[in-house]
């Protein structure tokens, strides 16, 4: 009976050691999943921003005499960044400015590109800019029939 108690005590100690060994691995996996989720949310937001900008570029062209026209470039950039054609509001996404937006109009197509970067939130290191990941979103729409 005494031998069985000793084996049971050793088994409890082994379970604690296994838990201590596996908990950092599990935490690393959870942190990685959270970071990937945050990056995907930011990338999705960037895509929605350029899609609304390219939609605005092709639809807000009242009074033009040609079919291959787009809205004012400054208004398009403001629409992408602020969600409105004027620059009075705050950015829809932190760290994104009008200078990050590129508008190209050629041969019947308008292309809007937005360049940004994702810096991990949970990393918590002093120089986290070393770990930033570039995110680029682009949308194209035809302006000619």
Between these two residues, 23 and 5, which has the higher pLDDT value?
Answer: 23
Of residues 111, 110, 127, the one with CA closest to residue 119:
127
Q: How many domains does the chain have?
A: 1
Q: What is the pLDDT of residues 57-96, one digit of tens each?
A: 988 676 556 677 888 899 999 999 998 888 778 888 888 9
What pLDDT sits at residue 2? 61
Task: Confirm whether 106 is domain-assigned.
Answer: yes
d(CA 106, CA 63): 20
Helices (H) and strands (E) in the chain, counts: 2, 3
Task: Confirm whether 1 is domain-assigned.
Answer: no
What pLDDT sits at residue 130? 73
Task: Confirm whether 8 is domain-assigned.
Answer: no
What pLDDT sits at residue 116? 93
Task: Confirm whether 44 is domain-assigned.
Answer: yes
Task: Confirm whether 138 is domain-assigned.
Answer: yes
- Domain of residue 128 covers 14-142
Q: What is the pLDDT of residues 88-139, one digit of tens each?
A: 788 888 889 999 999 999 988 999 999 999 888 776 666 766 778 899 999 9
Task: Confirm whether 32 is domain-assigned.
Answer: yes
Task: Confirm whether 41 is domain-assigned.
Answer: yes
Q: What is the pLDDT of residues 12-64, one digit of tens each?
A: 677 778 889 999 999 989 988 998 999 999 999 999 999 999 999 988 676 55
Task: Confirm whether 23 is domain-assigned.
Answer: yes
């Amino acid at each position: 009976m005494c031998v069985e108690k000793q084996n049971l005590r050793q088994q409890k100690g082994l379970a604690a050691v296994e838990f201590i060994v596996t908990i950092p691995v599990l935490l690393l996996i959870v942190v990685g999943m959270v970071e990937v989720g945050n990056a995907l949310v930011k990338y999705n937001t960037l895509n929605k921003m350029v899609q609304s900008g390219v939609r605005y570029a092709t639809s807000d062209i009242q009074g033009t005499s040609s079919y291959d026209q787009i809205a004012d470039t400054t208004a398009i950039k403001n629409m992408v960044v602020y969600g409105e054609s004027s620059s009075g509001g705050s950015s829809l996404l932190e760290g994104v400015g009008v200078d990050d937006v590129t508008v190209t109009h050629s041969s019947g197509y308008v292309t809007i590109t937005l360049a940004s970067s994702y810096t991990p939130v949970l990393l918590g290191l002093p120089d986290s800019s070393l770990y930033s990941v570039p995110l680029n979103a682009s949308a194209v729409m035809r302006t000619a029939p």
